[in-house]
A and B are shown apart, each in its own frame.
Chain A
Amino acid sequence: MPTTAPAFADATASDGALRRFLHGLPGVDTVGLEARAASLGTRSVKTTSKAFAIDLAISMIDLTTLEGADTPGKVRALCAKGANPDPTDRTTPRVAAICVYPDMAQTAKEALAGTGIKVASVATAFPAGRAALPVKLADVRDAVEAGADEIDMVIDRGAFLSGHYLKVYEEIVAVKAECGDKARLKVIFETGELSTYDNIRRASWLGMLAGADFIKTSTGKVGVNATPPNTLLMLEAVRDFKAQTGIQIGVKPAGGIRTTKDAIKFLVLVNETVGEDWLTNEWFRFGASSLLNDLLMQRQKLSTGRYSGPDYVTVD
C-alpha cells in the first residue's frame, strides 16, 4: 500500500500544502452532526437483528487492559477470556484482539497462540505521546518484535493543535514504516483533546493520507472518548476517502462504550454510513473492556429469555 494515496500526493508536499488541504475540507456543523448521530441512535434493533449485532460486536472487540498494574497473570486471564468469552456457551464468538502495552505483547502472543486472536499493542509513548520520535519508534519496534499484529499509536496532539500538521504526518509515516508488513497501524487522535469536529475531520484525513490502516478515536484515558458523533464523523471520512482513492480504512471507537445498547448504536452508525463493507472486524473495532460482559449478559438473555446478572459472566 502506498504511503500516501497518489491522488493526494500534492497535499503532503509541504507544511503549507498540507495545511491548505486540511483546511479546505468541508466544515462540520456541530448541531447537524449531533442530530444525525442521535437520530440513528433511535433505531430499534430487536430479536434476530439484535442477536446478530451482539455476536458481531463481540467479534469486533479489542479487549483491552492498559493499566500500570498490569501483570502477565492479568494479561493471560484476559487472553483466556477473549478466546472463550462465555464458558457456558461455546457458540460465543471470540474477540478480535487483545490490546496491551508493548511489554505485555509477548505474554499475550503466547497466550493467544492458535486462537487466531490478534495482539494489539499501544505504542509511541501512549497515552500522552510526549516522547522523542526515536523513543516512539523504539516503542513500536519493541511491540512488533514481541509479536504485536497491530500497533495503536497516538498522534502528537500538541503538534496538531499548534498547526504543525506535517510533523504529525511524518511521525505517522515513520511509525507505519516501522510496522512494515508485520503489523496493521491504528492511529489514535484523542478526539477529546482535539476538541472540535473540524479538527477531528482534519485529523482523520491526515491519518489516512499518512497510511493509517485504522483511525481510532481515543485512548480511553481522557474525559471524552468515543461518542456517536465523533465516530460518525470518522466513518464519513473513511467513506469519502474510499470513494476518492479506492483505499478502505478501518475505524475504531475506543473508551466509554460499556453497554450493548451503546455498541449497537455504533453498529447502526456503521451500517447506515459506510454499510456492509465495514461490518466486519477487519474494518471496525471496539476498544473496550467492560463492554464484553454486558454483551454476554444480553446474549444470555436472548438465548434463555431471562435477564442475566454479573455473577453469570466471568470477571477478568
Chain B
Amino acid sequence: MASASAPAPAPAPAPAFEYAPAPESRSVVDIAPSYGLFIDGEFTDAADGKVFKTISPSTEEVLSEVARAGAEDVDRAVKAARRAFEKWSALPGSERAKYLFRIARIIQERSRELAVLETLDNGKPIKETRDADLPLVAAHFFYYAGWADKLDHAGYGANPRPLGVAGQVIPWNFPLLMLAWKIAPALATGNTVVLKPAETTPLSALFFADICRQAGLPKGVVNIIPGYGEAGAALVEHPDVNKVAFTGSTAVGKAIARQVAGTHKKVTLELGGKGANIVFDDAPIDQAVEGIVTGIFFNQGQVCCAGSRLLVQESIQDELLESLKRRLSTLRLGDPLDKNTDIGAINSAEQLARITALADTGEAEGAERWSAPCDLPSSGYWFAPTLFTGVTQAHTVARDEIFGPVLSVLSFRTPDEAVAKANNTQYGLSAGIWTEKGSRILAVANKLRAGVIWANTFNKFDPTSPFGGYKESGYGREGGRHGLEAYLDV
C-alpha cells in the first residue's frame, strides 16, 4: 500500500480480489476406519465378510471401509424390520411423531458434522450441503413427524394402515436427503425400513443410524445395509418386503417394475429426467441467468430434475448466452470443503467417464462446445461447467440424461414450439418457465408433461411439496401430503 510518510488516497493498486482459501474444518466429523451394516439396532459385519472402500471423490482419499451387504444380510435386515413392525405400527401416532421430532432435532444439532461428512463422501460443495441438503433433511423429518398423529386428516379415510416393511434404495447424488425422503414418511405412517444407500456414498446413512440410536428409536425400525446393486436387487425381490421405493436411473427403475410384477408390493420410482428450462423474451433476465446456472450446475448437474435443456426464445438467444457465459466464468470450481466453492467434484470415476463420453458425443454430432475457463485439480474427478450450443432435438445431448454439469442450448420461436420441444422427451420430471407474464406461465405449465414446474425459479424443494415425475421419470410422489400415500395401504 502507501508509504508511511504520505499515504496515498488514490485508486488502490489492483491485485485482484482473490478469496483466500476458506476451508470448513474437517475436525467436526470423526470418520471411523470401518463401518458395519446396521441391522436390528446393531452394527454387524456382512455374513460373507465382504467390505468395500468409500473414497472422497475430490481427492480419491479412502475415507472408510464399509461392510458390503449380500442376500443373506438383506434377509436378516428384512426379518429385523418385520419383527419391529408389529410394535412400531401399533404405537400411537403421537408417540411415533415424537421419535421423528427427536430425529429432526438431532439432525439440526449435528448438521455441520453431517454437512462436512456429506461433502467428503459425495464431493459436493460445503455451501450446498450446509445451506441446502442438511436444512432440507431436518425439515423433511420435522414435516413428516407432524403427520404421524394426523393420518386421519390426510384424505385417505379413517385410520389408514401402514404397508409393513419398506425396502428402499437411494442414489448418491443427495445421500442424506434421499434417505430423509424415504425414511421420514415410512416411519411416520408406521412402516419399518430397510434402506440401501449407494455404494459410493454410504457414510451419511451410517451416521444416521447413530442418530436413530441417540433418538432411542426401537431396534429394527430402521436398518441400513450399504452395498452394491445386487443388494438392492435382493431387497426389491425379498418376499417379505411390502413396499419398494427407489430413486435412481430409469434403466434400474424399469428392472424393478419387472421384478415386482405379479406381487402385491407397492412401488414408487423416482427416476431420470431431461428438464427443459424455457426462457421467454420477457423474462427477468438476470434472475433467469441465475436460474439456468442453479438449474444445471447445482450439485454438478447430478440432479434428476436438473434443467439440462435450455430452451431460449430465439430473439434473445445471443444476449442471454453472452450473459450466461460471463456468469459461468465466475463460478469457482475446486475443494468442496472450501466455503467459496460453487462447483465440486463429480461423484465417481464411473460417472465422470459417462459425462465425458456424452459430452464427446455432443461434439462429434456437431454441437458447439464451450466450457468455463477454470483449472481442474490434479487428483479427484472433475468436469468443467460446459455448454453446448447449436443443439437440436436430434442431438444425443438433447435427449439422453447426462447427469453432469453439461447444458444443451436449443432455441424456439413461439410458446407452442417451446412446449412441443420441452415435451419431446421420454422423461417428464421437471421444467422451468421464465417470463414476467403470469398467464403465459400458467398456460405453458398447463401444457407441460412434467411433475414439477418451476416458474421464475428453479430447483426449489420443500417437504410440504410433492415431487415426482411423469412418463419414464417414474411414478408416485414424495413429499407433502401426497407423499403419505406411497406408504399407506390405501
- Please tell me whether chains A and B touch each other in their complex, using a CB distance cut-off of 8 A: yes
Give how many A-B residue pairs fall within 8 Å (CB-CB).
110
Partner pick for A276 among B7, B16, B131, CB 8 A cutoff = B16
B236 to A: closest C-beta gap in Å: 39
- Given known A31-B457, A32-B456, A279-B14, contact A48–B286 (CB-CB < 8 A): no
Interface centre among A31, A42, A59 (most CB of B within 10 A): A59
B88 to A: closest C-beta gap in Å: 40
A8 to B: closest C-beta gap in Å: 16
Asked if residues A32 and B9 are in contact (CB atoms below 8 Å), the reply is no
Q: Which of B125-173 contact A (CB under 8 A)?
A: 127, 131
Contact with B along A5-44 (1 / 0, CB 8 A): 0000000000000000000001111011101100000111
- Given known A44-B19, A56-B17, contact A29–B131 (CB-CB < 8 A): no
B392 to A: closest C-beta gap in Å: 27
Residues of B within 8 A of A33 (CB): 286-287
Asked if residues B282 and A280 are in contact (CB atoms below 8 Å), the reply is no
Asked if residues A49 and B20 are in contact (CB atoms below 8 Å), the reply is yes
Residues of A within 8 A of B12 (CB): 55-56, 59, 93, 279-281
Asked if residues B20 and A32 are in contact (CB atoms below 8 Å), the reply is no
B197 to A: closest C-beta gap in Å: 28
Residues of A within 8 A of B330 (CB): 272
Partner pick for B127 among A42, A52, A96, A267, CB 8 A cutoff = A42
In the complex, the chain B residue whose C-beta lies closest to that of A38 is B131
Let me know if B4 is at the binding interface, CB within 8 A: yes
Residues of B within 8 A of A56 (CB): 12, 17
Asked if residues A59 and B9 are in contact (CB atoms below 8 Å), the reply is yes
Let me know if A316 is at the binding interface, CB within 8 A: no
Asked if residues A280 and B11 are in contact (CB atoms below 8 Å), the reply is yes
Q: Which of A114-136 contact B (CB under 8 A)?
A: 115-117
Residues of A within 8 A of B290 (CB): 32, 35-36
Q: Which of B323-351 contact A (CB under 8 A)?
A: 330, 339-340
Contact with A along B182-195 (1 / 0, CB 8 A): 00000000000000
Q: Which of B272-303 contact A (CB under 8 A)?
A: 282-287, 290-291
Let me know if A175 is at the binding interface, CB within 8 A: no
Asked if residues B8 and A280 are in contact (CB atoms below 8 Å), the reply is no
Asked if residues B339 and A42 are in contact (CB atoms below 8 Å), the reply is yes
Residues of A within 8 A of B20 (CB): 45-50
Residues of B within 8 A of A267 (CB): 17
Let me know if A212 is at the binding interface, CB within 8 A: no
Interface centre among A42, A44, A95 (most CB of B within 10 A): A44
- Given known A48-B20, A91-B1, contact A42–B131 (CB-CB < 8 A): yes
Let me know if B30 is at the binding interface, CB within 8 A: no
Cα–Cα distance between A282 and B330 once the two chains are bound (Å)? 23
B332 to A: closest C-beta gap in Å: 9
A59 to B: closest C-beta gap in Å: 5
Cα–Cα distance between A32 and B287 once the two chains are bound (Å)? 5
Cα–Cα distance between A208 and B16 once the two chains are bound (Å)? 27
Binding site for A on B (CB under 8 A): 1-2, 4-5, 7-12, 14-22, 127, 131, 282-287, 290-291, 330, 339-340, 436, 456-457
24 contacts between A and B (CB under 8 A): A26-B284, A26-B285, A26-B286, A29-B284, A29-B287, A29-B457, A31-B457, A32-B291, A42-B127, A43-B340, A45-B19, A46-B20, A49-B17, A49-B19, A49-B20, A84-B7, A91-B2, A91-B7, A93-B8, A95-B9, A279-B14, A280-B11, A281-B9, A281-B10
